Chains A and B, each alone.
Chain A
Amino acid sequence: GAVVSQHPSWVICKSGTSVKIECRSLDFQATTMFWYRQFPKQSLMLMATSNEGSKATYEQGVEKDKFLINHASLTLSTLTVTSAHPEDSSFYICSARDTLAGLYNEQFFGPGTRLTVL
């Protein structure tokens, strides 16, 4: 199957700093990528839909100024957690769909990024 990578796989940062997480589709193009947050033993919570070349669509309750999303190419989306605080510590997962495979196609998930804010 297609591969989605994330970088870094884990990051520890100080409170108040910003952290950038990259999501790449390695062997397919994705006009749409999704960003999720997952707390321990909980489900995936969709944060935003990242659209190539346009503004991201954020879910209700997600602060767009705090979680900046940039989808600059068909294979790369980035999530920047600005002014991170301990409550932002979580497992962040991206996913992507193959643009050319149609609507009912598999959603490929990245391996996730563990963010710990001290």
Chain B
Amino acid sequence: DGGITQSPKYLFRKEGQNVTLSCEQNLNHDAMYWYRQDPGQGLRLIYYSQIVNDFQKGDIAEGYSVSREKKESFPLTVTSAQKNPTAFYLCASSILQGSNQPQHFGDGTRLSIL
């Protein structure tokens, strides 16, 4: 079955620690996205990528970093500079940036502070 796999499902971060969230898709989609979801705030875009080795900042990129070395993978690192990292993180992909096709979402990673 084609889809998006996010791992781990739950993650805990210690003070001063960087953590990396995994996102893999086998849909052959060009574009991939990372969102942060907080209660009552909807989804906010962190980073997005249209093509391998290229990515752009979204609305709340500070304290986060990404890479896109392979078409199917778009890992997100939450750095120690992100002072309020507790949230539900969602990865998504779509056929093309600028198309009218919907984004497909993974089942998320819930990050908490220890």
Whether A associates with B in a native complex is no
